[in-house]
A and B are shown apart, each in its own frame.
Chain A
């Protein structure tokens, strides 16, 4: 019996028979279709995924001519950051790291980001960030984003001045928890607009909101409102990368332009991001560590394909550690990453990664 070497969602190697591999792919796409109320992959698309995972070679790739644009969320930082970001701790500056990604590693775009990768801590040091951005722009050719996370949770006590919904809700203080989130969201929007306008003044090509809605629907609202203002008042190209496939209803009732934010899936999220004025959307589909790579990839590309079909702006799917079918481990195996990469392009029909 033919067996196939596959990775689990946590990176472990396991074996699958051909029937088991096909069953994993089918179950993965059906799970996405059921949750998102979207079409499952066709038989032809499932056959492509089967061939991709059954191929015995270590790395795979897209058909020549099908290559896509790469954007990132501070990936140049992987050269100089610590283990927490899968960084390898090489003593190079941020400017040098971006130059390396442009000239040595063939990157299409780059992103500058602060080590404390949230808009709130950037605000007091934004002049330093502007100087670094100006320095990068002098010497690079590829488009350069500034990136950080909205990270609404940093506005709640004890890190911030507002009530903490995770403390208030268990006490039954639902109205207080909701009010605290809206107050925090207003401050978060102000900070993102402040930093965004400073980066526009420094000449940045774009602004990236990374891991958006990590604290739920109020954070998504804060980000959409910041995008509206920045898209209307600056030249910035705005990219929105999400935190998860599903917007958590931590508030539960917030709306943007009449649409309730809690519970939205990628193909619905992108429509609001478009309305706000963003240029690029990065859908996220979380990896289930207990399921196989084929299950996770099939599930992820099902969500992303629906998102790509619904979108009118470029879709750059997130395919980092623990998302987009990539295993949740700090040194992602290239066999798993290249399969997720190729599947996102050939089946997910993304414009970039």
Chain B
């Protein structure tokens, strides 16, 4: 992206072209680009297969809002009891079959001898 005031730059791109982050499956597709260097079609296909949805469903906020709650991988609205932060990432790690560094470091702390 780039520089600009919040409405003129990030908001404009979110509305025009963005996947939607944790409103949809944007963070999950991003993870496959970052972790496995997947191009967009490959990353979307991988995530869609793991979620058992169609590729176009990944950016459907209505479908993904419910699915994220069912999978307990973090939802955008504030919901008591829902996984958030590291807890959500730990579940995403398992769902996508990747290793997330911050989750790995938490595991190391939990498993270290007292």
Contact = CB atoms under 8 A, between A and B. Distances in A.
Contact of B39 (A103, A139, A351): A351
- Residue among B16, B19, B21, B40 with the highest chain A CB neighbour number at 10 A: B16
Interface stretch (A19-27, A64-72, A119-127, A245-253): A64-72
A108 B26 contact: yes
A322 B1 CA distance: 11
Contact of B59 (A67, A203, A344): A67
Contacts of A244: none
Interface in A77-111: 78-79, 85-88, 101-103, 105-109
Contacts of B89: 141
A267 B105 CA distance: 37
Contact of A78 (B4, B17, B27, B33): B4
A62 interface: yes
B99 A235 contact: yes
B interface majority secondary structure: helix
14 contacts: A70-B1, A75-B1, A78-B9, A86-B9, A88-B5, A105-B11, A105-B14, A106-B20, A318-B2, A333-B8, A334-B8, A337-B4, A341-B17, A353-B13
A137 B100 CA distance: 11
A139 B23 CA distance: 16
Given A71-B30, A237-B34, 9 more contacts: A70-B10, A106-B21, A106-B22, A107-B10, A108-B30, A109-B34, A137-B102, A143-B31, A321-B2
B1 A72 contact: yes
Nearest to B83: A141
Given A108-B30, A351-B40, A67 B20 contact: yes
Interface stretch (A184-192, A257-265, A324-332): A324-332
Interface string B34-53: 11011110010000000000
A313 interface: yes
Nearest to B1: A72
Nearest to A142: B27
Interface residues of B, number: 55
B1 A205 contact: no
Nearest to B105: A203
Nearest to B36: A279
Given A108-B26, A342-B16, A318 B1 contact: yes
Given A314-B33, A353-B17, A143 B27 contact: yes
A338 to B, nearest CB: 4
Contacts of A312: 37, 39
Contacts of B20: 67, 106, 108
Contacts of B15: 59, 61, 338
Contact of A203 (B17, B24, B102): B102
B57 to A, nearest CB: 9
B33 A351 contact: yes
B55 interface: yes
A142 B2 contact: no
B34 A205 contact: yes
Interface in B43-94: 43, 55-56, 59, 73-74, 76, 84-86, 88-89, 92
Given A200-B101, A313-B37, A320 B18 contact: no
Contacts of B2: 72-73, 75, 318-324, 326
B18 A205 contact: no
Contacts of B43: 69, 314, 351
A68 B19 CA distance: 5
- Residue among B4, B73, B74, B92 with the highest chain A CB neighbour number at 10 A: B4
B10 A75 contact: yes
Nearest to B8: A332
Given A108-B20, A235-B99, A314-B33, A341 B12 contact: yes
A204 interface: yes
Contact of A352 (B6, B33, B56): B33
A292 B5 CA distance: 22
